[in-house]
Amino acid sequence: ATGSAAMRGDPLLVGGDQPVTVSAVSRRCGLAAGRSYSGGGAYPGVSLTCPLPGVPKAVFAAAESRERFETRVTVLENGLRVASQNKFGQFCTVGVLVNSGSRHEAKYLSGISHFLEKLAFCSTAQFGSKDEILLTLEKHGGICDCQASRDTIMYAVSADARGLDTVVNLLADVTLQPRLSDEEIEMTRMAIRFELEDLNMRPDPEPLLTEMIHAAAFRDNTVGLNRFCPVENTDKIDRDVLHSYLSSYFTPDRMVLAGVGIEHEHLVECARKYLLGVEPVWGSGQGRAVDRSVAQYTGGIIKVEKDMSDVSLGPTPIPELTHIMIGLESCSFLEDDFIPFAVLNMMMGGGGSFSAGGPGKGMFTRLYLNVLNRHHWMYNATSYHHSYEDTGLLCIHASADPKQVREMVEIITREFILMAGAVGEVELERAKTQLKSMLMMNLESRPVIFEDVGRQVLATNTRKLPHELCDLISQVKPSDIKRVVTKMLHKKPAVAALGDLTDLPTYEHIQAALSSKDGRLPRLYRLFR
């Protein structure tokens, strides 16, 4: 009834008050309120691209000044860097990043970083147990985590921003005052043994292959050193060994306190309060000299013969597969060529043969179009790019039935050679757009922003903002891709192979294929088939 009254222009009763006509509403709200939407006769001849006459001009919200979102860095008197990034929200992510990892263990027992990762957020000088720490964080809705990589150890807490003082106090205690009790060390030994056992039993061998390809590419040096603690070292690592390592590498000048979602001045104030002039539990005496070795790329092959037939039993077992990873040295993340390599990695893309999705999932990347779409027997073909402060590694992981290993290796070597060929304008633009969208999507997450801020400031003392990185990505040309690939193909390959390796080509043959024009392996002539 109301609708029909409006159509006729009859009075409307609004909330039981005086009758209001549609024409009165039109006069009060402007032309748009009384416009007929069905015929379009109210504005004859006005294009949809032009503003309607008589309608007030829209006022849009303006973006806040860019300075408000720049990363701010302050260096304290003891060399500790404090970095913060503003972000709207009630919660913050704060943590300590240390320039220390498995690459620095050449003079020590291998596996110390793995131990420190497992021992993080255990009892400290102020907190009697891990439970006490978790209860303290719970009061501020907080969670904690520690991750150790080849070049960084990261202690992080996400909590309500109002509990910043408590969080920084806790982080300072965890990094500089851990108790490392005998009981905690014994529990850590058990956890590491279990993890190593689990690593060898997993259906997905990717973590194992990543270790192997690094060991092959940088044999016995820096990033080629094992990230996981070898079984034989679990009983050798004790409190004294850990203190010896910590005294060398856990020094303020090798640390960054990073925070996202908090005021910079407040973070600096907390850092001065809890991280300035603090005596660490291992004493302030100078430890051994810090290992400043530069990564030496050696190339080579690491093979592990392993029966993969029973890796996944059950009603639908994973078929027996042989896994190959072939890599070549790229560049460090500090070099200008890092961006072209990142675009190249995105252009190669790839994934598993059962992955579903459209262009956003990389179905138009080269490893899908040229490999997985053409060779149904290939189970996986994925490109990876690992980058560090002094080197990098671009590699392709592929898996297939053991009987087709030789053919699989040739397909991958051909893809490496084709990288140096013509790069289509469409595929390059798609790769650049994908890289930018992935970058921006990841940086929606507060913990990812925190890690980005911490790692960049730890390596360079500054941070490149997302719009700067997007500008650099946009500038990549086909000639840049060709240049970096040509340079990369002059290096010796690194090869990691896992599974039934009966038909695996020799390292020399793989090297010859990557030096040839078409990427083909040398032909094998056998007298008896």
pLDDT digits (tens, 9 = 90+) for 223-270: 999 999 999 999 999 999 999 999 999 999 999 999 999 999 999 999
d(CA 427, CA 49): 32
Instruction: Read off the pLDDT band of 14 (50, 70, 90).
Output: very low
Residues 6+ apart with CB under 8 A from 111: 105, 192, 226, 228, 229, 230, 233, 234, 237
Contact, 115 vs 188, CB < 8 A? yes
Q: What's the confidence (pLDDT) of residue 8? A: 45
Checking if the pLDDT of 280 tops 90, the result is yes
Proportion of the chain above pLDDT 70, given as a percent: 87
3-class SS of residue 33: helix
Which pLDDT belongs to residue 67? Answer: 56
Span 57-90, pLDDT tens digits: 888 766 565 556 789 999 999 999 999 998 889 9
Mean per-residue pLDDT for 515-526? 87
Listed in order, strand segments (DSSP E) in 225-341 are: 255-260, 300-305, 322-329
For the chain, what is the radius of gyration of the CA atoms?
30
Work out the pLDDT band at 49, boundaries 50, 70, 90: confident
DSSP conformation letters of 143-208: EEEEEE-SS-EEEEEEEEGGGHHHHHHHHHHHHH-B---HHHHHHHHHHHHHHHHHHHH-S--HHH
pLDDT at 351: 84
Top CATH class, 300-515:
alpha beta
CA distance 204 to 216: 20
The SS3 assignment for 55 reads coil
- What pLDDT, on a 0 to 100 scale, did the predictor assign at position 308? 81
71-276 and 300-515: identical CATH topology: yes
What is the tens place of the pLDDT at every residue in 315-339? 767 789 999 999 999 999 999 999 9
Tokens for 316, please give them: 């639908």
What's the CA gap between 456 and 334, in Å, rounded? 10
Tokens representing 432 are: 């650049």
* Six token digits for residue 312: 């996944």
pLDDT band at residue 132 under the 50/70/90 scheme: very high
Q: Given this model, what pLDDT does residue 352 score?
A: 82
Taking the alpha carbons of 196, 200, 201, 203 in that order, is the dihedral positive or negative?
positive
Tokens for 248, please give them: 């060398």
The fold of 71-276 is Cytochrome Bc1 Complex; Chain A, domain 1 (3.30.830)
Share of the chain above pLDDT 90, in %: 77
Instruction: Please state the pTM of the whole predicted model.
Output: 0.86
Specify the 3-state DSSP secondary structure of 179.
coil
Q: Which two structure tokens, joined as six digits, stand for 77?
A: 């008197």
Each residue's pLDDT tens digit, 455-490: 999 999 999 999 999 999 999 999 999 999 999 999
**Segment 204-220 mean pLDDT:** 96
Whether the CA torsion 253, 255, 260, 264 is positive or negative: it is: negative
Burial of 183 per CB tally in 10 Å (0-12, 13-18, 19+)? exposed
Highest mean pLDDT: which of 57-61, 284-288, 368-372, 453-457? Answer: 453-457
List phi, psi (to 5°) of 300.
Answer: 140, -175
Predicted confidence band of residue 34 (pLDDT cuts 50, 70, 90): very low
Q: How confident is the model at residue 28 (pLDDT cuts 50, 70, 90)?
A: very low
Q: How confident is the model at residue 400 (pLDDT cuts 50, 70, 90)?
A: very high
Q: What is the pLDDT of residue 33?
A: 45
- CA pair distance 284, 248, nearest whole angstrom: 10
Work out the angle at residue 199's Cα, subtended by the Cα atoms of residues 194 and 201, and round it to the nearest 5 degrees. 95
- Where in the chain are the domains? 71-276, 300-515
Backbone phi, then psi, for 337, in 5-degree steps? -75, -5
Mean of the per-residue pLDDT values of the chain: 89
